[in-house]
Structure 1
Amino acid sequence: MCGITGILAFNEIGRPSLALLEQATESLAYRGPDHQGIYTHQMVGLGHRRLSVIDTSANAHQPFGIRDGRYTIVFNGEIFNYKELKQDLNSKGIQFRSDSDTEVLAHLFALEGKKCLERLNGFFAFAIYDTVEQSLFIARDRLGIKPLLYFQDGTKFLFGSEMNALLAYGIDRSIDHEALNYYLQLNYTPAPLTMVKGIRKLEPGHYLEIKDGQISKHQYYKLPSSTPTFELSYHQAKEKLHELLAQSVKRRMIADVPLGCFLSGGIDSSVITAVASQQTSSLKTFSIGFEGNKFFDETQYAELVAQKFKTDHTTFRLSNEEIGHHLQEIVSHIDEPFADSSAIPVYLLCKKTREHVTVALSGDGADEIFSGYNKHAAWWKIENDQKFKTLMRLAQPIAQMLPKSRSGSLSNRMRQVVRFTKAMKMAPAQRYWFLASFANHVQTSRLMKQPSTDFSQQESWMQSMNQYHDLNDLLRLDTQFVLPNDMLKKVDLMSMANSLEVRVPFLDHELVQFVFCLPEDMKINQSLRKRILQDTYRDTLPPELYNRPKKGFEMPLLDWLKTTLRSELNEHLFDKDKIEAQGIFHWNEIQTLKTQLFSANPEDSHARVWALYVFQKWQAKYL
């Protein structure tokens, strides 16, 4: 796990930017504290920061060259089937000077070119330069677990693991108002957009080829576009799921450094813990909780799981004061505005976990592929449960009058009733966007002084929902859209900020392919989400984990904004002179949000206020 960056100058005008390669590489130091390497050749430069996990010796340092220097690679990620690939390459007469997956990947590319991507099991972003062809090849893993950003103009091509590496090359910095519009609705910016005009994210399952000043982008992987006929019984499907997940976890426990497991107390991380505990007698597990706020604390369930599987368990308990103490360092690691507030506890969990291990397994991805979110249950009921829809219509007038927020059981239920009754009147594409958003286009247009009027990108993202067939189409879009842009970005940013590698067994592409072959009724029904996952491990996990409300990995943001962070908000957001001088937002809309935040009926105002606060801090730092 590492940080990578590089430059390919197209002409003499672009060549001076090569002098900034070292500076760009150093900007990624926290992603790889163990070694820095630089490679230059004529008009090309590659930079690498290493977090040593597999073959920790100097033999595996990068940039890594093979074939007498013809090919040089910089690689971020892990190839979990590298040993099998290495055996195959050995049989073809290829000799190795390290035990690293990096060298295996370089030789595989030299032998097979872009077709090598089809043989990789892992998560990755890498770049390989060929001195003979004078070409650069860049690829990102199938599901977008590892990030890759790039920039091009008439003089050069730049790439990096994070935006700050690209900004280190001195490119122009101006806000992309189309990206800002989507960010203010979603609290993150979906690929290929970024908040800086001209910088783009490489989409999951894509690669770039750069040669002779020309750049071409290609897709090498996509999820099945429809659910094929499924011939296994439910019992057989559970057995297959059990087998595939065991294989995935086993692959992801390969490391030459200490390894542990996140354990939140939910089904997903508990399943991973259960499976991983079968591979080792000394599994370390880690969970995090909030002092004084039981609504957000699930640590008692995590401790039940730890006791059952006899793990070496550590619980970190956080106070509002401790969270506030770390706030500035958390926000400083956000390379572009990103306002999923669960990034805060993820950061602190990663920071504390890194004191014990270098690699951690996570349960991320299960909700998206198996249907674990509240919106999935709501969607199913809209499509299948007429009695429930009638009940919600009757409850809606009462819910409309009562306070609504995410910070309490009753207020959250009222919020859900109102959203459900709105969603059930919408067509699939419109409904999906509504359920994914914290604000709508009308609200963001009122807020922005330069609102976007181009909806083509949103229409492109939602195009698949125009042919909606069943819930698998919704899950497919979640896996392509929300997962890489929100969940996986959060985990990558917050873990790498603490030099911790996080591996996600549920996103082994062989497992994902199988799960998307499962019919809808194996994933969700009237009473159960993630049905097949829960049923497969029902006799394995503690019974207390079942039949309880699902909670995301959230924090008490509303209370915190009103107390611990209030002075920060007053300084950076609720200051009329600053907002008007900045010229991006209308002060009257900021003031309206402030009033709602401190009212008895805050609804989702705290999420929108947090998004604006994060943007303000980012804009002050980078622009």
Structure 2
Amino acid sequence: MHSKKRHTVCGIAGQFNFSNSPVDSLKLNSMTQALAHRGPDFHDTFLDHNLGLGHRRLSILDLREIAHQPMKSQSGRFVIVWNGECYNYLELRNDLEKSGIKFRTESDTEVVLEGLAHYGSEFLQKANGMFAFALWDRQERKLLIGRDRIGIKPLYYFRDAEKIIFGSEIKAILAAGIEAKAERDSLYWQIRLRYSPGENTVFKEIFKVVPGTVMEFDTTGTCNHKTFWSLTNSAHQELDLTEEDAQEHFTELLLDSVNLRFRSHEKVATFLSGGIDSSSIVATSKKLGFQPETYTMQVPGRLDESKEARLFSESLGLNNHLVQFRENDVDLLPKIINSLEEPICDSIILPTYLLMQHTAQTHKVVLSGEGADEILGGYVHHLALSKINQWKSKFPRWMINSGASILNNTPGWILNQLSPYPSKFGSSAANRLASALSSNTHWEQNLHLMSLFTHEEASRFLRRSQPQPSGNLDKHWSHFKNHLFYSGLISQDLKFWCPDYTLLRVDKLSMSQGLEVRVPFLDHRLVEFCLSLNPSYFISGNQQKRLLAQSMGKTGILSAEKAYRKKSPFIFPMDEMYPNGIPEFLQDTLRSKHFQESDLFNSEAALSILEKPTITALDAKQIFSFYSLETWSKEFSI
């Protein structure tokens, strides 16, 4: 039986002046107001001279004043603002009560507050959840800010010699008077990878708090940076398990993860695309005795799986809601890009937003299958790079170079027939595979396959930007030798792609609608377990996510047909949607006077692709990337 938990969708903000100068209450209110969409029901602030905390709240239960945030500890020494969920708060509360701590509310916020007051930041190692928070120690005059292990919830900060300003979104920091300026080197990676990896953002001097870390500031401005969880540690510990034991333990963890994420007094829905990831979440929910309503996005073109999703939902006796795309929905894109703040250069942002918008009309909590590809080796590049690494370990260098040469001369249509990816990329895909095959480092292999643009293409499009290779990504691979290649590959995606692309997109677009998305596959216990298994549990031949398919199929949670069904990625194929050419809204933006006069972007480089006689899937992705970056610069007046 589940507790009637107070559920909050929140936004946090604050400022700590290292000098003794007081925080401006009007600015603090402006910062908090900038997050109104994350919590429209209630807001409050806390001021302690040179420290200010702000909180926005969407309340469902426990509307008593005592449950509001910012929240003070029983002793009065600590004050917290908290965004997110601690799913195992009941178990942690019981432990704290045994230590003599008495609770006034039914909230997980109070459990975390008293846990941090009692144990310090080590308490976070006990917490299972998604969160970003700020804790003020009134006695020591120290500020602690932190973020969950995987980076499910965002937290940004600006810091100079005089102060630190932080918030759930960049808008809160801009509302404090920090000017929006472009960070050119980050824009380079944003255009190449579709996201900015690591601490940097595309806004100058505004950074992300690294997942799994806390930052403690004192009145001198000194920052003590602590890591309470690390992907690298898990990836270096391989368990010796039979496949049967691995499947059994994986299933147990997934069942418990889903069960914990149904802890809410609100109705919990599920997203359902028709693939194995979301189907596993839905079927597991049903097995646990829940009756979630399911929400499916109908994607235009041949990749639409809405019919399969509806039939699967109905087979479980669950009500399915279909979200349909309308042509004028593209008018929402500027608003969507504004909500994202960091311009995710991928057309998937549109169906993601529509799905969130529709679900939020009837629900406040929803489960998603996001994260399964990251922990289970489900992406196309996982398969391709694993095979490349195997070939390199078996064959001499001259054979590898010969293979790369053959690939370079392979017609695109042949590669399209062999590729498991549904979109057709032409000869450029062969060139990238050849470059990855002939690369000397794992970092370079990844970059060739994961980049939307080559270095030369990105440099032509961005004015005055000549960055060095990303230290964040390059440094990551120094921890992984050849025999740990797969672990390095998976942990790289979990460390960068997952928080900086996938989860950023999910959080910003769901919270823009007051909707909380929970991701059972990213329970840290599942992540640690998958990282500690041999790669053969996930990829064998051309089959991916073997562990999930076998676990769901053998337990009967999914039928064998469903469990081993061929993967169909959730993409928005703009090249198929507009067979008669690039749509006017894209052309108008890229031919606009604002774009042509941009100090950041070279419009001629973009127009050279726009004016190609034949547009491939890669061309369509690049054109949308140009559109996203130009729209972002206009939305934030950069």
- Scaled to the shorter chain, the TM-score interval is over 0.9
Could you tell me which runs of 5 or more consecutive residues in structure 2 were left unpaired when the two chains were aligned: 1-8
Alpha-carbon displacement from aligned partner over 1:357-409 (angstroms, at most 9, x marks no partner)? 11001111111111001111112222336899999976763424789899995
Partner of 1:436: 450
8 Å contact kept, 1:272–1:362: yes
Contact 1:429 1:466 in 2 (8 A): no
- Secondary structure in 1 aligned to 2:409? helix
- Between 240-249 and 277-286, report the one with greater CA deviation: 277-286
In the aligned structure 1, how far is the partner of 2:582 from the partner of 2:17?
Answer: 45
Matched, 1:218 2:230: no
Q: CA deviation at 1:217?
A: 2.0
Superposed CA offset, 1:443-489 (max 9, x none): 11122221133335355454347634231221111111111111111
Name the residue aligned to 2:292. Answer: 283
- Equivalent residue letter for 1:452: Q
Aligned pair partner of 2:280 in 271, 276, 291: 271
| Partner of residue 37 from structure 1, selected from 44, 47, 72 | 44
Query: Does 2:343 correspond to 1:343?
Result: no
Give the Å deviation of 1:145. 0.6
Q: Tell me which residue corresponds to 1:421.
A: 434
Partner residue in 1 for 2:202: 195
Q: Contact 2:412–2:429 (CA<8 Å) still a contact in 1?
A: no
Superposed displacement of residue 163, structure 1 = 0.5
* Matched ranges for 1:77-226 at <5 A: 77-212=84-219, 213-225=221-233, 226=235
Residue 586 of structure 2 aligns with which residue? 569
**Cα offset, 1:156, TM superposition:** 1.6
Deviates more, 1:14-23 or 1:506-515: 14-23
Give the secondary structure class of the aligned counterpart of 1:481: helix
Cα separation, partners in 2 of 1:441 and 1:43, compared to 1, 3 Å: same
Does structure 2 conserve the Cα–Cα contact (< 8 Å) formed by 1:400 and 1:414?
A: yes
Decide whether the 8 Å contact of 1:253 with 1:259 is kept in 2.
yes
> In structure 2, what residue type is equivalent to 1:222?
S
**Kindly tell me: are residues 545 and 247 of structure 1, through their superposed partners in 2, closer, same or farther at Cα, counting changes over 3 Å?**
same
Whether the 8 Å CA contact 2:82–2:109 is kept in 1: the answer is yes
Counterpart-to-counterpart distance in 2, 1:381 and 1:370: 16
- DSSP 3-state at the match of 1:316: strand
Give the aligned residue type for 1:411: K
Alpha-carbon contact 2:29-2:54 (below 8 Å) kept: yes
Name structure 1 gaps, 5 residues minimum.
none
RMSD: 2.7
Amino acid across the alignment from 2:184: H
* 2:3 alignment partner in structure 1: none
CA distance in 2, matches of 1:288, 1:365: 18
> C-alpha displacement at 1:302, in angstroms?
1.3
Give the C-alpha shift of residue 547 in structure 1. 5.1
1:92-118, CA deviations, whole angstroms, 9 ceiling, x for partnerless residues?
221111000000000001111111111
Q: Secondary structure at the match of 1:333?
A: helix
CA shift in 2, pair 1:453/1:416, >3 Å:
closer
Q: Secondary structure at the match of 2:231?
A: coil
Partner of 1:451: 465
Aligned pair partner of 1:608 in 622, 629, 632: 622
- Worse-superposed segment, 359-368 or 376-385: 376-385
Structure 1, 508-517 or 46-55: larger mean CA deviation:
46-55
Instruction: Find the residue that maps to 2:15 and give its secondary structure.
Output: strand
- Report the alpha carbon displacement of residue 174 of structure 1 after superposing the two structures with TM: 1.7
Instruction: Provide the residue aligned with 1:370 in structure 2.
Output: 376
Does 1:582 pair with 2:594?
Answer: no
Q: Which amino acid aligns with 1:584?
A: L
Describe how 1:402-417 pairs up with structure 2 within 5 A.
Answer: 409=422, 411-412=424-425, 416-417=429-430
Are 2:12 and 2:83, in contact at CA under 8 Å, matched by a contact in 1? yes
CA distance in 1, matches of 2:314, 2:324: 18
CA distance in 1, matches of 2:420, 2:615: 11
Q: Which of 501, 511, 525 pairs up with 2:526? A: 511
Aligned 8 A contact 1:561 1:606 in 2: no
After TM superposition, the structure 1 stretch with the greater mean CA deviation from structure 2, 550-559 or 53-62, is 53-62
Q: What one-letter code is carried by the residue in structure 2 that aligns with 1:248? A: S
1:6 aligns with 2:14: yes
After superposition, the Cα gap between the structure-2 partners of 1:603 and 1:61, relative to the gap in structure 1 and judged at 3 Å, is same
Distance 1:523 1:26 in 2: 45
Quick one: which amino acid aligns to residue 187 of structure 1? Answer: R
The separation in 2 between residues aligned to 1:191 and 1:55, in whole angstroms, is 37
Please, which of 601, 608, 626 is the counterpart of residue 592 of structure 1?
608
Aligned partners of 2:166 and 2:173 also within 8 Å: yes
Helix, strand or coil for the counterpart of 1:136?
Answer: strand
1: CA distance, partners of 2:537 / 2:515? 35
Distance (Å, rounded) in 2 between the aligned partners of 1:484 and 1:8: 26
Identity across matched positions, percent: 31
Are the structure 2 counterparts of residues 147 and 211 from structure 1 closer, same or farther at C-alpha, using a change threshold of 3 Å?
same
Cα deviation, 1:402-446, whole Å, max 9, x if unaligned, reads 898999957248665443333222231101122221012221112
Give the 5 Å matches for 1:447-596: 447-455=461-469, 457-458=471-472, 460-464=474-478, 467-469=481-483, 470-538=485-553, 539-546=556-563, 548-559=565-576, 566-575=583-592, 577-596=593-612
Determine the C-alpha separation between the residues in 1 that align with 2:12 and 2:227.
Answer: 21
Shift of 1:279: 2.6
Alignment partners' CA distance in 1, 2:448 and 2:571? 20
The answer (yes or no) to whether the contact 1:263–1:273 under 8 Å persists in 2 is yes
CA distance in 2, matches of 1:591, 1:378: 31
Instruction: Determine whether 1:326 maps to 2:332.
Output: yes
Kept in 2, the 8 Å contact 1:151–1:200? The answer is yes
Conservation of the 8 A alpha-carbon contact between 1:129 and 1:137: yes
Describe the shift of the 1:392–1:353 C-alpha distance in structure 2 as closer, same or farther (beyond 3 A): farther
Residue identity opposite 2:154 in structure 1? P
Tell me: CA distance 1:409–1:361, structure 2 relative to 1, closer, same or farther (3 Å).
closer
Counterparts of 2:433 and 2:564, CA distance in 1: 22
